[in-house]
Chains A and B, each alone.
Chain A
């Protein structure tokens, strides 16, 4: 069955430190992968997506993620985080041929001064 696993429920880091939020997926068919971010008391917004082409995708605010088919992973990274990056991050998978987007359980990133 298709599933998305986010290995860390909470990640605390200090400002300007690097961070990696891990995401693994399980699927027997082609997939499209997404990272969404949810700031407190708001809905989710798209951070970045992998549909096809280059396996390294970037967002406008410095995050990047790499699609690794052999390791079935789509980890999210940022080399230097800001206080404003404090939020919950959700990895999501869309299987080809399916209408359903499956979400991981989320990782709460807390950036401390």
Chain B
């Protein structure tokens, strides 16, 4: 029972390089999210997908793009990485859209360092 799976777990990039973080969930959830976690900042929402085929910006979308490939998968792309994007990235999923559809289930995180 994998839940939410993120790859890679660790990545080091040089400034200007691009990469994609992959996320997949096996719980048949409709909604998926990407957060970044920085010390003393809590979690900040980058992008979310309330349902398959839709994506919306969160609190800190600049420098990122997302793709909801199908119901299971939601990827996050950094087109030209910057040192300010050094962070731990978490993917999460939820059963449905709306505030009362239960809790988020999180992956284990992807630690990204941009030199």
Q: Residues on A close to B: CB < 8 A?
A: 6, 9, 31-32, 34, 36, 41-46, 49, 51-52, 90, 94-106
Distance between Cα atoms of A41 and B9 in the complex (Å): 11
With A43-B90, A44-B90, A99-B48 known to touch, is A49 a contact of B42 (CB < 8 Å)? no
With A43-B107, A43-B108 known to touch, is A97 a contact of B43 (CB < 8 Å)? no
Q: Decide if A103 touches B106 in the complex (CB within 8 Å).
A: no
Any chain A CB within 8 A of the CB of B104? yes
* Cβ of B63 to closest chain A Cβ, rounded Å: 19
Distance between Cα atoms of A45 and B90 in the complex (Å): 12
Residue in chain A with minimal CB distance to B33: A101
Q: For B90, list chain A residues within 8 Å (CB).
A: 43-44
Any chain A CB within 8 A of the CB of B40? yes
With A99-B31, A99-B56, A105-B40 known to touch, is A49 a contact of B45 (CB < 8 Å)? no
Q: For B99, list chain A residues within 8 Å (CB).
A: 31-32, 94-98
Any chain A CB within 8 A of the CB of B61? no
Any chain A CB within 8 A of the CB of B69? no
- B79-107 interface code vs A (CB 8 A; 1 in, 0 out): 00000000000101000011110011011
Q: For B40, list chain A residues within 8 Å (CB).
A: 9, 105
Distance between Cα atoms of A41 and B88 in the complex (Å): 10
* Cβ of B9 to closest chain A Cβ, rounded Å: 10
Q: For A102, list chain B residues within 8 Å (CB).
A: 45
Distance between Cα atoms of A6 and B41 in the complex (Å): 11
